[in-house]
Amino acid sequence: MDYNSLLEKYWEGETSLEEEKMLRVYFNSTDVAPDLILYKPFFLYQKVEQEKTLSDNFEQELLAKIELEEKPIVKINRKQNVTYYLYRIAAALALLFGVWFLFKPVVIETEQIAAVDEDTFDDPEEAFNELKSALLLVSRNFEKGKSESMKGVIKINTLRKTVKK
């Protein structure tokens, strides 16, 4: 029989129960081929482990060992216990205090609200003219900024051209 191919099938998990039994019998015998002697301890280990059983008084021995183990008695120091709870209370209060300051509502005074609601102009024409002058001022400043930035761009372009030459 070709035990090499049977062993390959075994490692791939493709053997039947009968083929596995044949391999166990072969490797537990004394006449194993020299090239397969490496696998003999594996099959011997399986045989030894299958033969192991629990003793009749295993449960009694286990219970006796459990009873022999002494459980340590932990004494709780009352002073340490109180200190522990005081630290917990202090931490909770600190947390609540921090959350309160983080989310406390901003109180807006009524005078500020009244100032926002009031109109500054009685005549709509006067308000329109004031708005128009303010927007004109903004527009002029934008134009001035645009012309200043264009001067910088022109300088950069002339420098770039001179560097390329």
- Our CA dihedral for 142, 147, 153, 154, rounded to 10 degrees, sits at 170
Domain-embedded: residue 97: no
Domain-embedded: residue 59: no
Domain stops at, among 14, 37, 52: 52
Q: pLDDT digit string (tens) for 125-164?
A: 888 888 899 888 888 888 887 777 788 778 888 888 888 7
Into how many domains does the chain fold? 2
Interatomic CA distance for residues 26 and 6, integer angstroms: 11
Domain that holds residue 144: 110-164
> For residue 112, what pLDDT is reported?
55
> For residue 117, what pLDDT is reported?
55
**Mean pLDDT value across the chain:** 81
Task: Take residue 44 and report the two structure tokens written for it.
Answer: 């011997």
